[in-house]
């Protein structure tokens, strides 16, 4: 099978104890995020999207193992395809190698003597870009806290190849990763039992600030002794990556009798202060309880009074509702009687109107039957009450008569 797109590169080493391969490095090919699972002091590591290179500067017989390279990726037909390659490393000891080992130890001794003088370190060395410091190299077990700070100094950029810090790690040689922070990540990720408030860190990009990662924790145990590493993963503009490492040796020692006595004195003093505060708080609580009891008693009296008022009000409301109901019933009866009377009155009025209408009709019929047109204006007062009246005489002449002047009877 072939892999068209590589997702993960894994470098492993065979472990005789577990009878299986133990992963040393896992690289995400797309993000170039490298996870280092096993620490090695005298080693160099470089990696890219398609390779991981591990160089052991001073290999020992323990490094003579079978190594495995695993590539995991996808092709057009299958996803998560894994391909393996194995390499067995053999160890040979001879006099030349022994001499070289002695020279190396001598060189390391000189380096250790020089590394105590910070002024002698050259800024051109890659490791000079990072500084790793601790609050103390010797920590008293369960008493003193430990603060480790990993600092990546702002580098002088090479115009031909710029570099960008990708991540900072603080690790222990046996306990593994303690904390780390990645570029563009606002919160430090913690993988060890350290309270988040005691971890600080930030990677600055395009800012004149030194990136850093700082961890503080208390109650250290003897197992926390050993080598601590500060790692800086740097990516260059040409695609090359690099890892810079600094180391500190921290010793956690058992407390002496004098130290325990001092701590005990502090504890006793703190207990006495806490005891005084507790007594003061108890007295305050008693006073608050008395005030609370008085307030509760007053509230209870108010509640009883309010309850009685509510009962009285409820009784008054019931009485008022009863009276209103009786009034409504009485008014309803009265309204019914009024409605009946109105119906009777309307019926009587209707009958009277009918009779009046009949009488009017009879009068009109009689008038029409017996009506004779006037012959002159002299007898017009029997036909009209108007001062001026237009009438048609019996002769057919249409005139206006004056019915008032000098007794009326005049033609105008």
CATH number at residue 22: 2.60.40.10
Mean pLDDT of 211-221: 88
Integer distance in angstroms from the first to the last C-alpha of the chain? 138
User: Residue 311 above 50 pLDDT?
Assistant: yes
Tell me whether residue 124 is in a domain: no
> How far is it, in rounded angstroms, from Cα 392 to Cα 129?
137
Does some domain include residue 116? no
Same domain, yes or no: 58 and 159: no
CA distances from 16 to 19, 22, 231 (A): 5, 10, 28
pLDDT confidence of 118, banded at 50, 70, 90? very low
- Tell me if 374 is assigned to some domain: no
- The answer to whether residues 239 and 144 belong to one domain is yes
pLDDT digits (tens, 9 = 90+) for 272-302: 888 999 999 999 999 999 999 999 999 999 9
Does one domain contain both 144 and 207? yes
Band of residue 126 on the pLDDT scale cut at 50, 70, 90: very low
* Higher per-residue confidence, 235 vs 113: 235
Contacts of 246 (CB under 8 A, 6+ apart): 127, 130, 131, 132, 150, 229, 230
**Domain check: are 240 and 292 in the same one?**
no
Residue 359 Cα distances to 101, 114, 177, 350, 364, angstroms: 153, 146, 124, 14, 9
| Residue-number span of the structural domain to which 331 is assigned | 257-364
- Average pLDDT over the chain reads 82
Q: How many CB atoms lie within 10 A of CB 401?
A: 25
Lowest mean pLDDT among 88-92, 195-199, 247-251, 314-318: 195-199
Range of lowest pLDDT (142-151, 181-190, 269-278, 387-396)? 181-190
**pLDDT value at residue 95:** 46
- The verdict on 181 and 249 lying in the same domain is yes
Establish if 287 belongs to a structural domain. yes
Q: Are residues 135 and 200 in the same domain?
A: yes
Confidence of residue 125 (pLDDT cuts 50, 70, 90): very low
Residues 157 and 247 in one domain: yes
- Pair 245, 152: CB distance under 8 Å: no
241-253 vs 138-140, strand pairing mode: parallel
Q: Answer yes or no: is 111 within a domain.
A: no
- Residue 112 inside a domain? The answer is no
**Tokens 């001598």 -> residue:** 106
Secondary structure (H, E, C), 316-328: HHHHHHHHHHHHH
pTM of the model: 0.41
Residue 315 sits in the same domain as residue 407: no
Q: Are residues 356 and 394 in the same domain?
A: no
Across 377-401, average pLDDT = 76
Whether residues 158 and 244 share a domain: the answer is yes
* Gap between the Cα atoms of 291 and 250, Å rounded: 57
Provide the number of structural domains found in the chain: 4
Same domain, 140 and 157: yes
Q: Are residues 143 and 250 in the same domain?
A: yes
Q: Contact, 183 vs 205, CB < 8 A? A: yes
Residue 321 pLDDT grade (very low, low, confident, very high; cuts 50, 70, 90): very high
């Amino acid at each position: 099978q072939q892999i068209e797109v590589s997702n993960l590169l894994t470098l492993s080493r065979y472990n005789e104890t577990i009878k299986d391969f133990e992963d040393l490095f896992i690289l995400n090919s797309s993000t170039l995020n490298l996870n280092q699972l096993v620490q090695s002091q005298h080693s160099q590591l470089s990696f890219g999207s398609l390779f991981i290179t591990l160089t052991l500067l001073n290999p020992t017989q323990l490094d003579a193992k079978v190594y495995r390279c695993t590539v995991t990726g996808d092709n057009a037909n299958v996803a998560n395809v894994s391909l393996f390659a194995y390499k067995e490393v053999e160890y040979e000891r001879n006099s030349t190698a022994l001499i070289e080992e002695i020279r190396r130890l001598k060189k390391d001794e000189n380096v250790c003597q020089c590394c105590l003088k910070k002024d002698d370190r050259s800024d051109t060395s890659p490791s000079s870009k990072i500084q790793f410091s601790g609050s103390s190299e010797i920590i008293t077990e369960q008493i003193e806290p430990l603060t480790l700070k990993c600092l990546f100094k702002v580098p002088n950029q090479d115009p031909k190849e710029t570099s960008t810090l990708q991540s900072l790690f603080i690790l222990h040689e046996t306990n593994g990763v303690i904390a780390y922070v990645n570029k563009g990540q606002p919160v430090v990720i913690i993988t060890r039992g350290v309270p988040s408030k005691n971890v600080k860190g930030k990677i600055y990009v395009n800012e004149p600030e030194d990136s850093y990662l700082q961890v503080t924790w208390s109650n250290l145990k003897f197992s926390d002794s050993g080598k601590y590493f500060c790692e800086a993963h740097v990516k260059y503009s040409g695609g090359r990556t690099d890892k810079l490492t600094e180391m500190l040796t921290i010793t956690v020692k058992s407390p002496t009798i004098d130290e325990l006595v001092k701590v005990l004195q502090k504890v006793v003093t703190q207990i006495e202060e806490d005891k005084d505060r507790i007594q003061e708080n108890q007295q305050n609580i008693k006073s608050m309880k008395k005030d609370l009891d008085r307030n509760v008693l007053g509230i209870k009296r108010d509640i009883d009074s309010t309850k009685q008022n509510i009962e009285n009000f409820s009784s008054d409301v019931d009485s008022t509702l009863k009276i209103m109901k009786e009034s409504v019933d009485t008014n309803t009866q009265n309204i019914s009687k009024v409605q009946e009377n109105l119906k009777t009155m309307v019926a009587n009025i209707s009958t009277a109107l009918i009779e009046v209408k009949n009488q009017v009709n009879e009068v009109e019929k009689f008038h029409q039957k017996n009506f004779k047109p006037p012959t002159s204006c002299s007898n017009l007062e029997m036909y009209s009450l108007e001062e001026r009246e237009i009438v048609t005489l019996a002769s057919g002449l249409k005139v206006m008569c004056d019915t008032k002047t000098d007794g009326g009877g005049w033609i105008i």
